[in-house]
Amino acid sequence: MIAETNKSNEGVPVLIPQALAKRYGWQGGEMLQFQENGDRLEVLPSVSRLRKVYVEVTNICNLACVMCIRNIWEESSGFMEENIFQKILNGIERLSPPPTVFFGGFGEPLAHPHIVDMVAVAKRVGATVELITNATLLTPERSRQLIQAGLDTLWISLDGIHPESYADIRLGAELPKVLENIESFQRLRPPAHLPHPQIGIVFVAMRRNIADLPELYRWRKRLGAKQVLVTNVLPYSVEMLHESLYARALHEPLYISSKWVPELDFPRIEFDSLTLQPFIETLRSGFNTRWGGVNLSTASDWCPFIQRGSVSIAWHGGLSPCLPLLHDHTSYLAEDRPRFSKAYFVGSLKENTLPELWENADYLAFREKVLRFDFAPCAVCGGCDLSLENSEDCYGNTFPTCGGCLYAQGIVRCP
């Protein structure tokens, strides 16, 4: 549930400590939005502050992974031009504090011939810089260059820890070489209690590789990874839908926030051979569940991109609210329910500046709408043909509609 206060007579003035207001971008007279979470009232991030910029420097990749969107699209390919990237930097310089720059999209960032220079220049304008890679092009020389350029976090896409399972997913890559590249990057970092750049791992969980997850955690220390992010596969084909691990999770009451659903409140408790099966049976019994004080239903109807205050910029300069709207694509909600998502761009950096696009009144209204998330539940409903596209829904929302987005249901995640 979202509550609001604003500067009209209907609102209630709220005093925010100055340090917190600066950190989260709240300004005097601005509308604040709240979310009820049990006995807590949580203040949601300001939609007026840009805090993260996803930069797709290319949509070209040197691999052909089985779950990739690039297997099903028919789009032109290219590299971000210098003038587009410079306009991103110019916009970042006008923002205080500067947003994080995340190099990643639907291509391999290290394939861009000027990626090291891009990292270095982004650091010079004061941004925190992150980059995601499949690590096949992460040679020792490239590792040195990225470290010297000031990269803050390197994310590695690693979907298997055994050569057979890895090669079955990341076609064209060899796991021993990838692990060697990551270990080389780790060794080249300056010695420190908390080495810099930090390393994170992204694992796309599927039926064919889920057994590797415990081993991946054991490898985490060897690879020097501080973070591991596990996500479900976004099925761009029926084959990948059959690999998914979330069919039941989309409909489980434990993830649904409703006054009509009974509640179950778990304490912190051991996970072992004695408790695991009773837990599973109880979680499937139809309760909305709190675990150690955390309500699991807050993972639904929640856009991570809008909540983060982020934008996504395609290699050609188009600015979108999120990564899923960067490219036209079809994904599958069920075997007989392909959903076509049309790309949506607020505008292009070829014609506008980054602040102009971010402050666009229609775009601001869209972000506020997504924060409230009053969209039809297309991801779980399937009751009409409107769910098969993102053009409109049965609540009266028009393009782009977000009710069928699996990112907004906590199913698919990204750094």
* Torsion of Cα atoms, 197 then 56 then 177 then 64, to 10°: 160
Place of tokens 């290319």: 58
* CB-CB contact of 351 with 301 (8 Å): no
Widest Cα–Cα separation across the chain: 64
* CB-CB contact of 339 with 332 (8 Å): yes
pLDDT digits (tens, 9 = 90+) for 12-69: 778 888 888 777 767 777 777 777 766 778 787 778 889 999 999 999 999 999 999 9
User: Measured between alpha carbons, how far is 328 from 69 in angstroms, rounded to an integer?
Assistant: 10
Neighbours of 407 (CB within 10 A): 19
122 pLDDT exceeds 50? yes
Q: What is the rounded average pLDDT of the residues 97-124? A: 97
User: Measured between alpha carbons, how far is 263 from 253 in angstroms, rounded to an integer?
Assistant: 9
Place of tokens 């990626």: 115
pLDDT at position 38 is 65
Q: Which residue would you say has higher pLDDT here, 5 or 189?
A: 189
pLDDT at position 261 is 77
User: Measured between alpha carbons, how far is 224 from 222 in angstroms, rounded to an integer?
Assistant: 5
Could you give the percent of the chain with pLDDT greater than 90?
65
User: Measured between alpha carbons, how far is 61 from 58 in angstroms, rounded to an integer?
Assistant: 8
Neighbours of 222 (CB within 10 A): 11
pLDDT at position 40 is 74
In this prediction the pTM is 0.91
* CB-CB contact of 318 with 80 (8 Å): no
pLDDT at position 10 is 62
5 pLDDT exceeds 60? no
Quickly state the pLDDT bin for 172 (edges 50, 70, 90).
confident
Q: Is the preceding peptide bond at 17 cis, omega within 30 degrees of 0?
A: no
Q: Which of 267, 287, 158, 272 is nearest to 215 (CA)?
A: 158
Give the length of the chain: 415
Domain 52-245+301-374 homologous superfamily, CATH: Aldolase class I (3.20.20.70)
How is the chain split into domains, by residue range?
A: 2-43, 52-245+301-374, 257-297
User: Measured between alpha carbons, how far is 50 from 25 in angstroms, rounded to an integer?
Assistant: 9
* Residue 114: CA count within 13 A, CB half-sphere: 13
6 pLDDT exceeds 60? no
Q: Is the preceding peptide bond at 355 cis, omega within 30 degrees of 0?
A: no
Place of tokens 């960067």: 326
356 pLDDT exceeds 70? yes
DSSP H helical segments within 99-243, as ranges?
115-124, 140-149, 163-169, 175-188, 213-223, 238-243
Q: Which residue would you say has higher pLDDT here, 315 or 253?
A: 315
3-state secondary structure 246-314: CCCCCCCHHHCCCCCCCEEEECCCCCCCCCHHHHHHHHCCCCEEEECCEEHHHHCCCCHHHHCCEEEEC
